[in-house]
Amino acid sequence: MSAASYVSTRGQAPAASLSQAIAAGLAPDGGLYVPAALPSLHREEFAQGTLADTAATLLQPFFEGDALAPDLHAICAEALDFPVPLRPLGDSGTQLMELFHGPTAAFKDVGARFLAACLKRLRADADTPLTILVATSGDTGAAVAAAFHQVPRLRVAVLYPDGRVSPRQAHQLGCFGDNVRALRVAGSFDDCQHMVKAALGDTQLQAHVPMSSANSISLGRLLPQMSYYAHHALAWQRAHGHPLSFVVPTGNLGNALAALLVRAMGLPIDRVHLACNANDVIVEFLAGADYAPRTSVATLANAMDVGAPSNMERLRWLMPDDAALRATLSASRIDDARIRQTISLVAQRYGRQVCPHTACAIAAWQDLSAAGDTRDWALAATAHPAKFERIVGQFSGQPVPVPASLDALLARPAHAEPMRAETAVLARWLRDWH
Ligand SMILES: *Cc1c(COP(=O)(O)O)cnc(C)c1O
């Protein structure tokens, strides 16, 4: 097999190796890196094993011929060192895929830890630090901060929309210090994302301050997210003799794209259904409207407050034909009233507390069942309810117990610097960071 290579969704950048694509984040033409050819795998190629074992088998073709290939097993073992269990949702027959048992209690720990494990190895001989820029609507920043904290030759600037993340999320972003800085931006998540993209694309600034991204545009985050879909779909197929379907709560489409890639590679996934909050640009697009990105609105499921999903370019690359895409992918819009109602109902009916994002997935699945769908579903539970203790406590009628890892972070002091939502302000700040 020849070395895996990566091309830009915009088609105007030279092909890159995996290491180059991971180090760069965004492609030089402003596009997102995708594999030049999507490998296919057969389920017989997977031995029964841990999540890290599944990940190493799944990702081997993506690492083929790359400088990181000899380290693939070690990277998977380092990044995926916490459980990602499927747990039945009461007696509903449906499963919650619990993605929130990592250090910052959200699924983004998977991608962030994998990216850190890759970059750490790629920068082993560098003499200038690499600055990781990350725009976050809540969970990305904390996961990246935790994954990169005190890693030598790497440093992190986290931008988040001031006042639009939960108090606990804000605390998690500001509590690391050392090589990690938190910037609270007077603007929306889309403003933060725009500032990051502008800085990364500024070649003059790059010459002074070598930078990369850790947003869901980064290939180093997308690839490992495929692992849990593959792992559970394969186990389900072995145990039940048929494929599993997934509901994925969606913002930037990174987690959902991982599920779609696994299915496109030939592994046993049946339906993939997206659950959006009131930011419903994807829902409308899949229902037949033109794709119309817009400004995001604030909702209870704030990590999904995205009006212009950055992975849309990758979705279009994977399924360029709109009609085919609409036939194979569906989505629901779940507004805040429904999120509250679902948190209550899940507490009463199943005795479980779920975060607002997970509630979107559960509500979407309830609608599918009500419409007569009887497939075997796993619903991605993307954050621990303790990250949203106010809303979950209020509507489930019970205080939310805090997991130990989160407790330790909340005990640290936190600090964030205010910043105007202007690309020039960020550029100046980065030049002055010593
Ligand atoms: C980021 C996030 C999402 C959305 O994931 P995308 O990959 O952006 O679609 C959903 N739930 C939680 C808790 C998140 O942190």
- Determine whether the shortest distance from the Cβ of 250 to ligand 1 is under 6 A: yes
Decide: helix, strand or coil at residue 276. strand
- Determine whether the shortest distance from the Cβ of 303 to ligand 1 is under 6 A: yes
Residues with Cβ < 8 Å from 202, sequence gap 6 or more? 423, 427
CA dihedral 223, 229, 233, 234 (to 10 degrees): 40
Instruction: Say if 334 falls within a structural domain.
Output: yes
Closest-CA residue, ligand 1 atom 14, reads 303
Name beta bridge partners: 87: 96
Closest-CA residue, ligand 1 atom 1, reads 303
Compute, in angstroms, the gap from residue 312 CA to the centroid of ligand 1: 14
Confirm if 179 and 156 have CB atoms less than 8 A apart.
yes
- Give the β-pairing of 86-88 and 95-98: antiparallel
Q: Strands of 36-187 (E only): list them.
A: 86-88, 95-98, 130-135, 154-161, 180-186
Mutation pick for ligand 1 pocket among 139, 229, 311, 329 (CB with most ligand atoms within 8 Å): 139
Confirm if 134 and 213 have CB atoms less than 8 A apart.
yes
Domains contained in the chain, number: 1
Compute, in angstroms, the gap from residue 300 CA to the centroid of ligand 1: 13
| Per-position b or e across 285-308, b if 16+ CB within 10 A of its CB | bbeeeeeeeeebebbbbbbbbbbb
Within 13 Å and on the Cβ side, how many CA atoms surround 319?
Answer: 17
**CATH code for the domain in which residue 262 is found:** 3.40.50.1100
Rg, C-alpha atoms of the chain:
20
Closest-lying ligand 1 atom to the alpha carbon of residue 108? 15
Q: Which domain holds residue 310?
A: 79-106+220-403
- Determine whether the shortest distance from the Cβ of 383 to ligand 1 is under 6 A: yes
- Letter for the amino acid at 87? R
Instruction: Say if 155 falls within a structural domain.
Output: no
CA dihedral 96, 99, 105, 108 (to 10 degrees): -140
Compute, in angstroms, the gap from residue 97 CA to the centroid of ligand 1: 14
- For the record, the structure tokens of 32 come out as 């997102």
From first to last of its 434 residues, the chain has per-residue pLDDT tens of 578 999 999 999 999 999 999 998 889 898 999 999 999 999 999 999 999 999 999 999 999 999 999 999 999 999 999 999 999 999 999 999 999 999 999 999 999 999 999 999 998 888 889 999 999 876 788 999 999 999 989 999 999 999 988 888 899 899 999 999 999 999 988 899 899 989 988 999 999 999 988 877 889 999 999 999 999 999 999 999 999 999 999 999 999 999 999 999 999 999 999 999 999 999 999 999 999 999 889 899 988 999 999 899 999 999 999 999 999 999 999 999 999 999 999 999 999 999 999 999 999 999 999 999 999 999 999 999 998 999 999 999 999 999 888 888 889 999 999 999 999 999 999 999 98
The residue behind tokens 């986290």 is: 158
Whole-model pTM: value is 0.93
Instruction: Say if 213 falls within a structural domain.
Output: no
Instruction: Say if 224 falls within a structural domain.
Output: yes
pLDDT of residue 121: 94
Closest-CA residue, ligand 1 atom 2, reads 303
- Determine whether the shortest distance from the Cβ of 105 to ligand 1 is under 6 A: no
- Determine whether the shortest distance from the Cβ of 184 to ligand 1 is under 6 A: no
Instruction: Say if 265 falls within a structural domain.
Output: yes
pLDDT of residue 156: 97
Confirm if 407 and 173 have CB atoms less than 8 A apart.
no
Instruction: Say if 179 falls within a structural domain.
Output: no
Integer Cα distance of 294 and 31 in angstroms? 19
Closest-lying ligand 1 atom to the alpha carbon of residue 358? 11
- Determine whether the shortest distance from the Cβ of 249 to ligand 1 is under 6 A: yes
pLDDT of residue 1: 54
Mutation pick for ligand 1 pocket among 166, 172, 255, 358 (CB with most ligand atoms within 8 Å): 255
Number of H helices, E strands in the chain: 18, 13
Integer Cα distance of 183 and 426 in angstroms? 9
Least Cα distance to 218 among 179, 182, 254, 261 occurs for 254
Confirm if 224 and 262 have CB atoms less than 8 A apart.
no
- Determine whether the shortest distance from the Cβ of 219 to ligand 1 is under 6 A: no
CA 271 to chain CA centroid, Å, is 20
Instruction: Say if 186 falls within a structural domain.
Output: no
Instruction: Say if 319 falls within a structural domain.
Output: yes
| Per-position b or e across 4-34, b if 16+ CB within 10 A of its CB | bbbbbbeeebeebbbbbbbbbbbbeeebbbb
Let me know how long the chain is. 434
- Determine whether the shortest distance from the Cβ of 252 to ligand 1 is under 6 A: yes
Closest-lying ligand 1 atom to the alpha carbon of residue 138? 15
